[in-house]
């Protein structure tokens, strides 16, 4: 091996550049700005977000695109496809009602039920789990055993029992879903609080005289928002499916109100004769659940610090 010919002439002294040493090469980002930057790189999650946005817009605009009411009956166009009944883009049902209008009206109702119920679930779970994790001790054990009792009976059984007792309806479904679905969120928040309550910023807040309520609401919960948002995203399709199932078995909205579940139930009765009546609400249900789950995966990758490169 030949020896390397290293001489002083091959090096150049660059000196010190104080201005360049203070230059910010990469601008600083907040946690949420960095999460949004990471989310934008996930093409599947962004496509899901765009698709979900389109469905939400159509759920409000769709019922007004065609000049029909969702409960308007026209017996001259009973069980007609779109080709057989011009002006009815998705065809008509057994009572001559426009399926296009009813699908988007049902989407609006199903989304409203799911979002309201999940927001109530999240609120109860955050408060319950935050108190349980922060206080600890006997109170924590009692509160968590209560959640265990709640989980010992399937949620669907709780929901069906409440609906049978109170009676079917929009408010009843929301209340039933809200009162039975907060256990998972409370466990999640409790676990986050147990991790955060021993950290330095919590100790500093206590040293400065912050009350337990302020520590929970201003320090512990905001620092747990990442997992909470991820869980929220995954909970919405579960609530949509639950509402659709309840409506499918006849415990949903009373007629003539429409939801995706009631439309699927009506279409299933005529599946072998008029399959298009089941196809359209089923497609919307599938797209909604798939979109929220794919978006949840993207949010998990963007918000979970353990997944950072």
What kind of architecture, by CATH, is found in domain 38-307? Orthogonal Bundle (1.10)
Enter the tokens of residue 99. Answer: 């399926």
- Residue 211 burial (10 A CB sphere; 0-12, 13-18, 19+): exposed
How far, in Å, CA of 240 to CA of 189, rounded? 23
Q: What is the pTM of this model?
A: 0.80
How far, in Å, CA of 262 to CA of 245, rounded? 9
Per residue in 211-264, pLDDT tens?
877 887 777 888 788 888 888 888 888 888 888 888 877 777 877 788 888 888
Per residue in 56-115, pLDDT tens?
999 999 888 888 888 888 888 888 888 888 888 888 888 888 889 999 999 999 899 889
Q: Which residues contact 109 (CB under 8 A, 6 or more apart)?
A: 170, 253, 257, 258, 259, 260
How far, in Å, CA of 112 to CA of 19, rounded? 56
Rounded to the nearest 5 percent, the helix, strand and coil shares of the chain are: 70, 0, 30
Confidence tier at 174 by pLDDT (50, 70, 90): confident
How far, in Å, CA of 175 to CA of 120, rounded? 9
Domain residue spans of the chain: 38-307
């Amino acid at each position: 091996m030949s020896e390397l010919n290293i001489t002083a002439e091959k090096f150049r002294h660059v000196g010190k550049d104080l201005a360049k040493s203070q230059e910010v090469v990469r601008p600083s980002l907040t946690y949420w700005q960095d999460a949004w930057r990471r989310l934008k790189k996930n093409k599947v999650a962004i496509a899901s977000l765009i698709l979900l946005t389109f469905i939400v817009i159509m759920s409000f605009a769709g019922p007004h695109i065609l000049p029909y009411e969702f409960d308007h009956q026209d017996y001259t166009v009973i069980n007609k496809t779109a080709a057989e009944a011009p002006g009815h883009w998705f065809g008509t049902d057994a009572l001559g009602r426009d399926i296009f209008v009813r699908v988007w009206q049902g989407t609006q109702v199903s989304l409203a039920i799911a979002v309201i119920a999940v927001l109530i679930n999240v609120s109860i779970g955050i408060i319950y789990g935050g108190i349980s994790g922060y206080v600890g001790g006997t109170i924590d054990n009692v509160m968590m055993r209560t959640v265990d009792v709640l989980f010992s009976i399937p949620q669907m059984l709780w929901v069906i029992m409440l609906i049978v007792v109170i009676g079917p309806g929009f408010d009843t479904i929301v209340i039933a879903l809200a009162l039975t679905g907060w256990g998972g969120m409370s466990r999640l928040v409790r676990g986050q609080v147990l991790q955060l309550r021993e950290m330095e910023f919590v100790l500093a807040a206590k040293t400065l005289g912050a009350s337990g309520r302020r520590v929970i609401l201003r320090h512990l919960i905001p620092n747990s928002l990442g997992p909470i948002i991820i869980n929220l995203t995954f909970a919405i399709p579960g609530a949509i499916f639950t509402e659709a199932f309840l409506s499918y078995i006849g415990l949903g909205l009373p007629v003539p109100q429409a939801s995706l579940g009631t439309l699927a139930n009506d279409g299933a009765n005529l599946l072998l004769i008029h399959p298009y009546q089941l196809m359209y609400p089923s497609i919307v249900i599938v797209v909604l659940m798939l979109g929220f789950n794919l978006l949840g995966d993207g949010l998990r990758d963007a918000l979970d610090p353990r997944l950072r490169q």
